[in-house]
Every structure is written in structure tokens, then in C-alpha cells.
Amino acid sequence: MVSLARTIRSIQRVGLREWWRQMQYIGDAKSGRYVGRDQFGNLYFENMNAEEEIPGRQRWVDFAQHDYNASQVPPEWHSWLQHIRKDAPPEDPVFAKVTPPWQASYVENLTGTRGAYKSYNTLRPKINAWEPKVKART
């Protein structure tokens, strides 16, 4: 349950329009430090104030698309969101130095969309549908 004081404080920090958008999309008004942006345009935030946030929910993502899913978060940002990494990818010195040359750009999971992979078979089907053979009338 959100207290009235926290609601007023959130409106003052982020503005009425942004507060209303957050209430519609994530059901909670959050404000915090901007940490970075990924290649999809998602914005990442952090608020380490223990009085305002529930433990484990100090980091969050603001998705760029309205139809979002978890596969739109790249692995390096996912590890930061889940508190596996202490520093965010732009701030992490190890991540900045080590980028493997074989690593391709991350692509979200396209299952259920038009871009999904569809396999095809080159063998003849084991069962063929019946096709009637009609002779021409004379």
C-alpha cells in the first residue's frame, strides 16, 4: 500500500504526467538515479534509499516499447538488475575493457512474432493428402 506522503513526494520528483504514466505501466511511482540506456532504448534507474524502496527492488528498467517482455533486456543489464553485478555496464571497468570480438549484437527473443524462426523440411511427407483424379469429359 502506497502512503499519501510517498505519493505526493513522487509527484513532486517526477511530475504529474510521468507519475501517471508510471502508475499505468508498472503500478508504482518510482524516482531514482539514471544509470544508463541499452541498444533498444530502455532506460535503467537505481534508488538505493532504504526508506523508499523494498529490498531487491532498488533497480528497475523503463522499457522503450509498450509491448515489452523480459527478453528485451540484454544479458549485461539483466545481471545488474538482478544484483549479480555491483556496477552497471557503463560504470563497470571490467565490462568496459573486456568485450569479446566474437560477441554479436544482442537480439531479443522473437518467438510469437513475424520475425520468429520457422524451420522447413526438405523431405517428402510420409502421408500425402488425397487428390482426386478427374478425366476430362468428351
What is residue 47's predicted lDDT score, i.e. its pLDDT?
86
Burial of 60 (0-12, 13-18, 19+ CB in 10 A): middle
Q: What is the pLDDT of residue 103?
A: 64
Residues sharing a CB contact under 8 Å with residue 45, sequence separation 6 or more, in sequence order? 30, 32, 33, 34, 35, 59, 60, 61, 62
pLDDT averages per 10-residue partition of the chain, 138 residues? 77 89 82 88 86 79 85 89 89 76 72 86 85 86
At a CB cut-off of 8 Å and minimum separation 6, what does 43 contact? 34, 36, 37, 61, 62, 64
Decide: pTM greater than 0.75.
no
State the pLDDT at residue 48.
81
84 bridge partner residues: none
